[in-house]
Amino acid sequence: MKYLIIGTGGVGGCIAGFLSLAGKEVACIARGAHLQAIQTNGLKLHSDLKGEHTLHIPATTAEEYKGKADVIFVCVKGYSIGSITELILRASHERTVVIPILNVYGTGPRIQRLVPGVTVLDGCIYIVGFVSGTGEVTQQGKGFRLVYGAHKGTAVSAGTLETVRDDLQESGIKAVISDDINRDTFVKWSFISAMALTGAYYDVPMGAVQRAGEVRDTFTGLSRESAELGRRLGISIPDDLVDYNLSIIDKIDPVSTASLQKDLARGHESEIQGLLFDLIEAAEAHGVEVPTYRMVAQKFE
């Protein structure tokens, strides 16, 4: 399998690094000083699971990439999807599968509409990964799990999902082929939304969410409201979704912060629309009360 990683940030860089360490054929799309550093000095990976490595992975801009890939991982922010559709079309052949790994629910179907004729799956990832310097990414903790699968009605070449799973697992990534990717991507959206918005609203690291009090109560309220939206949408939401979200947040490094929080603090473009306002809009459309989300929205309107 030939892998292409579009977006070599914390998530994409860690996927690329782990695949490369396992000897898989992988190329990266990046830009600016980050790309220049990777091209000149290699991608530096700091990993609690793999240790310290400098990896010389082929890296180019989207415009410069001329190859074809069997598997394309899309690891950009939601607001960048429109800018990479030409690359996906150009880099795909008749059996290519595209696996979006984004924080925003509904990404797979959105990309599929933009690249008809290409097989687009959907996915979500559980990792603490971030850009720790120019040309450097860091993976923290002992968890690195990637869930992916095809939406109903999407045909995938026989054995493709299993081959990708095997490659990822050989690379040290816990890969799971989902039996309901619509459910799993919504569950991830619920968690990321609650985590990112709580951290950004109070401007605190995750340790503050792990302690009893107002901050944790806000995280719980956000989780409860998104779970109710999921049920109203007809998704098979687990009954213990709130407890599940709490169990995940309690395993995260207490000094870590979400990328949304970092982007807002730096004045960068962020995923606030997809993690906050899109959820409120969906709740309104389906008659779900979301008072905690509305409280948070007052700060960012």
Considering the domain architecture, whether residues 29 and 111 belong to the same structural domain is answered as yes
- Separation in Å, CA 88 to CA 51, 73, 139, 216: 32, 10, 26, 40
Considering the domain architecture, whether residues 43 and 147 belong to the same structural domain is answered as yes
Q: How many domains does the chain have?
A: 2
DSSP β-ladder status, 43-47 and 136-149: parallel
pLDDT at 242 over 90: yes
The whole domain housing 142 covers 2-179
Alpha carbon distance 83, 109 (integer Å): 16
pLDDT at 77 over 90: no
Instruction: Please choose, from the candidates 187, 197, 191, 205, the residue with its C-alpha nearest in 3D space to the C-alpha of residue 273.
Output: 197
79 pLDDT tier (thresholds 50, 70, 90): confident
- Separation in Å, CA 130 to CA 196, 224, 245, 267: 14, 28, 21, 17
Considering the domain architecture, whether residues 132 and 256 belong to the same structural domain is answered as no
* CATH number, domain with residue 94: 3.40.50.720
* 179, 212, 240 - which closes a domain: 179
pLDDT at 142 over 90: no
Considering the domain architecture, whether residues 67 and 92 belong to the same structural domain is answered as yes
* Amino acid (1-letter code) at residue 165: R
pLDDT tens digits for range 114-137: 999 999 999 999 888 899 999 999
pLDDT tens digits for range 23-68: 999 999 999 999 999 999 999 999 999 999 999 999 999 999 999 9
Considering the domain architecture, whether residues 6 and 149 belong to the same structural domain is answered as yes
pLDDT at 253 over 90: no
Alpha carbon distance 262, 271 (integer Å): 11
* 127, 156, 179 - which closes a domain: 179
Alpha carbon distance 257, 253 (integer Å): 9
Considering the domain architecture, whether residues 154 and 288 belong to the same structural domain is answered as no
